[in-house]
Amino acid sequence: MIALMLTLLLVNCEENKYYEANPGLFNDSTHGSIIGKVLQHSSHAKVIVSQVYPVDSAVIKEADGSFEISGLPIGNYDVSVRADNFRIYKLCNVMVQGGGNTYIGEIDLSTIPDLVTSHYPEDLAEIVYNNRYSRLTISIIFTQPMDRESVEKAFSTYPPTEGIFHWGQYSEAPSRAYYADKAENWGFETGATITTFSNITAFSYQMAQKDCFVDTTYKVVLSTQASDTAGNKLRFPLEFSFSTVQSSSTQNGIISYPSHGDVEVDLITSNGIQITFPRNMDRVSTENAIHVAPVSDIMYLWPQKNQLTLYTGGVLHADTEYSITIDETAEDLDGIKLGNPFSFSFKTAPVSVTSSSPRNGELFVSPSAPIYLYFNTYMQKSTVQNAFSISPAISGTLDWYYDSKTVLQFTPSQSYRYNTKYTVVIDTRAKDIFGSPLKESFTFSFVIRPE
């Protein structure tokens, strides 16, 4: 009898060991398992299964983050995952069926504390900041009404900054207010309906202008001293950082005007050829790194530290492809080289007459009206005179309109005939200052008013 009892005890022990190693294999028609995986393998997260009160729990495997809770009676369960320095993960109404496994997927634990809904800027964000009148803004939305005094004491930045807390506001951009105490709330969204002095779930911290810098990484900390109005504190600190970049136009790369591949580019532009960098550049190394074809005497102008204008010494050559390359030796103000060459090219428009006065098809023109010819570039007057004709013929003079070099005025020496159609032709003998001819003849007609 004693021997039989020892044998049964040994068999039962072996079964228990096998059950512990393979718990899912012992589910029956009225029991099942909840399985899943936590991506933070080394977090030592604890998985808790509840039905109003906790029913069972398991610690994830450090090797792969997997977990399995077996032998659960059929029914719906709430699953929560807890780990130090991670937000509590909750999944409600997980259904367990008999004899099977319910897989709840891969769980990615958040580093945002439980009382926090979201924050601006996001962690590791880059904020374009290069505006004289802007202030950097940090915003946080909470899940519960917060104790304002505890939150303000728990809030800090590095580098240290001074600023003003605007409660009940949430911003997603640097503020544009000229003065910190101005009533203007442009750029803000309300983050709460304020029903009492304390029932506020959002704030925006507007940094003092003296502490707002470009090319700077800011770290933001909200310590566990922060609590809601019920006295619940953050389980772990909220920490995130963001960086300010220097360009008001681009943060991802170099942009140009004209853009790469543009055609019919104006021959006269007050903007010149513009290049905008994502960082403030060293002028000497950048200018030495620039190569322009066709070769011309380039003048360099810097409207801003990250914006360069190339002036080719006058109007652009007509019907010409320009190519600009900035080689890798160009440096920013921190001495960091561009690293890779940047090139772009564009093609200019041909010489043309852009418009006339009188316009083509105009009626009731004054018998003494001068004729104006508008070109898209500087022209040689003598060549335009040779290319100009009017029918029926009428004598007159052709001169620059106020020395514009792009507008020629034909003044008739006598009046046009009433109720008569006149046709003007400027043929391809007209040339610009570089000798490029009009690409195609320009013809227009008008009618003089009746007497």
DSSP string of 307-335, one letter each residue: EEEEE-SSSPPTT-EEEEEE-TT-BBTTS
**How high is the pLDDT of residue 5?**
54
**How high is the pLDDT of residue 252?**
60
**Radius of gyration for the chain, computed over Cα atoms and rounded to the nearest angstrom:** 38
What's the pLDDT band for 12 if we cut at 50, 70, 90?
A: very low
Residue extents of the structural domains in the chain: 21-107, 116-245, 255-317+326-337, 353-448
What's the pLDDT band for 190 if we cut at 50, 70, 90?
A: very low
Chain-centroid distance, C-alpha 302: 24
Q: What is the pTM of this model?
A: 0.54
Tell me: the pLDDT tens digits for 199-218?
Answer: 788 899 999 888 988 888 99
Tell me which residue has tokens 């951009």: 173
**How high is the pLDDT of residue 157?**
97
What's the pLDDT band for 353 if we cut at 50, 70, 90?
A: very high
Fold agreement (21-107, 116-245): yes
Rounded Cα–Cα distance for residues 85 and 53 (Å): 24
Q: Tokens at residue 165, please?
A: 């807390």
**How high is the pLDDT of residue 296?**
82
Q: Are 244 and 138 in contact (CB under 8 A)?
A: no
274 or 403: which carries more pLDDT confidence? 274
**How high is the pLDDT of residue 263?**
93
What CATH class has 116-245? mainly beta
Homologous superfamily of domain range 21-107:
Immunoglobulins (2.60.40.10)
**What's the whole-number average pLDDT of the chain?**
86
What's the pLDDT band for 1 if we cut at 50, 70, 90?
A: low
Provide mean pLDDT across the span 230-257: 83
Chain-centroid distance, C-alpha 385: 52
4 by Cβ neighbours in 10 Å (0-12 / 13-18 / 19+) ranks as exposed
What's the pLDDT band for 283 if we cut at 50, 70, 90?
A: very high
**How high is the pLDDT of residue 345?**
95
Burial 65-82 (b: 16+ CB within 10 A, else e): bebbbbebeeeebbbbbb
Provide mean pLDDT across the span 236-258: 81
Inform me whether the pLDDT recorded for 381 exceeds 70: yes
The correct answer on CATH 3.40.50.300 for the domain covering 353-448 is no
Inform me whether the pLDDT recorded for 27 exceeds 70: no
**How high is the pLDDT of residue 39?**
93
Percent of the chain with pLDDT over 90: 63
Inform me whether the pLDDT recorded for 167 exceeds 90: no
174 or 125: which carries more pLDDT confidence? 125
